[in-house]
Each structure stands twice: as C-alpha cells, then as structure tokens.
Chains A and B, each alone.
Chain A
Amino acid sequence: GDSVTQMEGPVTLSEEAFLTINCTYTATGYPSLFWYVQYPGEGLQLLLKATKADDKGSNKGFEATYRKETTSFHLEKGSVQVSDSAVYFCALSESRASGGSYIPTFGRGTSLIVHP
C-alpha cells in the first residue's frame, strides 16, 4: 500500500540555521501531501499541504514542494527559531473508506530541537 518515509531524528540546529526534513512517499494514485506539526503536549496541527505535482505549500516560513518525479515532499525553512522545536510529520492521503473518504497515512515523525 501507500507509505511515507521520513528522515530519522532528532534534528538539532542552532537558531537561524537552515532546516530540511526529508520525506519520500510511495503511492499508486495521486495523493495530496501534508506536513503536520506537534508541539510539546499538544495534538497535531496542519502546517502546510500540496494537492498536485509542482504545487508548493507554505506557512509560517516553512515550505515544501510536491515533486512527483522524485516522489518527495521535503520540508524547508530558511531560518529556524527556538519556537519551531516540535515533532514534524509528513503524510499522504489515500482512499480507504467505503464512502470514498481520503484517509491520511503518516510517517514516523521527525523531532526538531532548536537551541538558542
């Protein structure tokens, strides 16, 4: 079935460093791709998404581009802050339910630690 592979963490950076978190996927169809973020003690929340090839999702200085040719959706940020410390999950949607709903499948998550 469809799957998502993320780079293992933790990723440890100094404030203002450049961030890349790699995500690749396998899918038989044309899924939408998502990045979710989980801050300490909270549930996940959507960070950004892209719905078709070459789309770029962006939010809060983070960006990711849907690359169909390399089946990738890498998360980037030019200058990280301490407040970006969190766990980041890559996900793709796939049709699973009888009603045709699209259900996300998540990667294992990558922990980001940003030091002052």
Chain B
Amino acid sequence: DVKVTQSSRYLVKRTGEKVFLECVQDMDHENMFWYRQDPGLGLRLIYFSYDVKMKEKGDIPEGYSVSREKKERFSLILESASTNQTSMYLCASQTERTTTNEKLFFGSGTQLSVL
C-alpha cells in the first residue's frame, strides 16, 4: 500500500524561527499536497505540486513556501513562524490522472506548536 511519511509527529518552535516540514511518498505519485487542519475549519489547502519543481498556491499560501526537488519529497517551509501557524499539518499524495476520481493518500500529520 502507499506510504506517506511525515518526518515529525510533534514539533515545537519559537516565533520567528524558520521551520521545515518534510513529507516523503513511496509510490511514484505525481501530485503532492500540504493541508492544515484546524478545529471547526476542516482541511485547507496551502500548496500543491503536480510535478518536480512545479507548484501551485492553494487557498491559504500566505506565510508558507514549498519545495519539490525530487518527485518523492515535498517540503513545507515557514519562513518566519508565527503563533497563528500553530496547527496540524497534513501531507498527501495522489496519482496524477485527468479524471475526477483519484483519491488522496495522507500522512499521519505533524502537530506544530509555535510559542
């Protein structure tokens, strides 16, 4: 089965720090995603990538950037962490198909606390 691995389950950082969240998938999927999950707000898309070095902004990209240098790895970067970025971050991957019914495979999430 597809495995999506997020490097940290829990992370505590200080305001102003640069933060890297790493995600690796092992099934050669073209598409990768970063979502944040907040109580009452559900999942909101930050960025996604449909190929190496290709990225598109999601619904809430402000304060974040991403990097995809290799197909299997998709990194989310908080250039200067702020307390309002305390959240659960979920990475997902998807086989690229021009059909509507391809599911996402999710990692277990990284709970980031910014103090």
Contact = CB atoms under 8 A, between A and B. Distances in A.
Contacts of B48: 96-97, 103
Contact of A101 (B31, B41, B108, B109): B31
Contact of B100 (A45, A97, A102, A108): A102
Interface string A47-78: 00101000000000000000000000000000
Interface in A14-57: 30-32, 34, 36, 41-46, 49, 51
Contact of B101 (A32, A36, A96): A32
A103 B45 contact: yes
Contacts of A107: 42
B96 A99 contact: yes
Contact of A108 (B4, B41, B109): B41
B101 A97 contact: no
A30 to B, nearest CB: 7
B42 A43 contact: no
A53 to B, nearest CB: 13
A97 B103 contact: no
B99 interface: yes
Contacts of B96: 99, 101
A101 B50 contact: yes
Contact of B106 (A44, A49, A105, A108): A44
Contact of A46 (B45, B50, B103): B103
B22 interface: no
A47 to B, nearest CB: 10
Interface string A87-116: 001000101111111111111110000000
B107 to A, nearest CB: 5
Nearest to A30: B100
B104 interface: yes
Given A43-B107, A97-B56, 7 more contacts: A42-B108, A43-B106, A99-B51, A103-B45, A104-B104, A107-B42, A108-B40
